[in-house]
């Protein structure tokens, strides 16, 4: 395993919830936000895969701002909907609105017995001129209504396998040990061998 010493790195996201989760997962590194490097523009996510969008975001920052960085893209893949909303999870109901996205998904699954779903995160890391991808998957099911107030996005309607709480009923730490993002970041940590 390589030992790569990095003290700080840019996380290419404008999502404060993702920042909070990743800072909790990577306490030994200073995670620098886009705001902190002066990047206020919305990076267009035009790919039709999670991998593609994670790469677009990481490459945008490295190319335009010159920083090593990592980016994540996440999708909720629902079995009865053939993997939808997947890469289109953010705008499933037309606009980037979590409440409307959840309501649409609950309506779509209303008459379906199969509620199986998984969150999948792809992290793209640009480091010292090379790119590395890490994937994390968390299987579970879509609940019939919202449970809990914590977290963000689809958290109130997603219950991970083996647990009887939704992500929105868990603490940041609990979610981080089992979540898609937690697993992808764990792979990044193992790659960097920093803990
Ligand atoms: P993106 O990775 O920012 O493109 O996220 C896609 C969609 O999934 C957005 O609607 C997010 O709110 C949602 N999302 C991303 N990560 C999570 C998560 O960990 N829990 C719940 N929803 C999430």
Please answer whether residues 19 and 13 qualify as being in contact, where contact means their C-beta atoms are separated by less than 8 angstroms: yes
Q: How many domains does the chain have?
A: 1
The answer to the question of residue 107 being in a domain is yes
**Residue 175 CB–ligand 1 contact under 6 Å:** no
Q: Please tell me the distance between residue 182's alpha carbon and the centre of ligand 1 in angstroms.
A: 13
State the CATH number of the domain containing residue 186: 3.90.950.10
Which domain covers residue 20, as residue numbers?
8-194
Quick: pLDDT tens for 79-105: 999 999 999 999 999 988 999 999 999
pLDDT digit string (tens) for 26-82?
998 999 999 999 999 999 899 999 999 999 999 999 999 999 999 999 999 999 999
Residue 17 pLDDT greater than 90, yes or no: yes
166 in ligand 1 pocket by Cβ < 6 Å?
Answer: no
Active site residues: 73
* pLDDT confidence bin for 195, thresholds 50/70/90: very low
Residue nearest to atom 10 of ligand 1 (CA): 90
Which residues lie closer than 8 Å to 110 by C-beta, 6 or more apart? Answer: none
Pick the closest to residue 185 from 33, 16, 28 (CA basis): 28
Domain annotation covers residue 2:
no
Residue 1 falls within a domain, yes or no? no
155 CA distance to ligand 1 middle (Å): 9
Would you say residue 124 lies in a domain? yes
Cα of 159 vs centre of ligand 1, distance in Å, is: 15
DSSP states of the chain: ------SEEEE----HHHHHHHHHH-TTSEEEPTGGGT--SPPP---SSHHHHHHHHHHHHHHHH---EEEEEEEEEEGGGTT-EETTGGGTTSSS-HHHHHHHHHHHHTT-S--EEEEEEEEEEEETTEEEEEEEEEEEEE-SS---SSSSTTGGGEEETT-SS-GGGS-HHHHHHHSHHHHHHHHHHHHHT--
- Ligand 1 in contact with 191 (CB < 6 A)? no
């Amino acid at each position: 395993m390589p030992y790569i010493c990095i003290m700080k790195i840019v996380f290419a996201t404008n999502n404060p919830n993702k920042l909070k989760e990743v800072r909790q997962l990577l306490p030994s590194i200073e995670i620098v936000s886009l705001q902190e490097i002066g990047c206020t523009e919305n990076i267009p996510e035009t790919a039709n895969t999670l991998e593609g969008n994670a790469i677009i975001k990481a490459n945008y920052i490295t190319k335009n701002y010159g920083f090593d960085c990592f980016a994540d893209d996440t999708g909720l893949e629902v079995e009865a909907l053939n993997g939808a909303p997947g890469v289109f999870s953010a705008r499933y109901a037309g606009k980037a609105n979590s409440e409307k996205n959840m309501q649409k998904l609950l309506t779509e699954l209303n008459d379906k017995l199969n509620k199986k779903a998984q969150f999948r995160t792809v992290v793209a890391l640009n480091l010292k001129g090379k790119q590395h991808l890490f994937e994390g998957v968390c299987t579970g099911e879509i609940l019939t209504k919202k449970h809990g107030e914590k977290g963000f996005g689809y958290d109130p309607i997603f219950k991970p396998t083996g647990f009887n709480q939704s992500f929105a009923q868990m603490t940041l730490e609990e979610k981080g040990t089992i979540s898609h993002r937690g697993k992808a970041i764990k792979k990044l940590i193992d790659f960097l061998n920093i803990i």
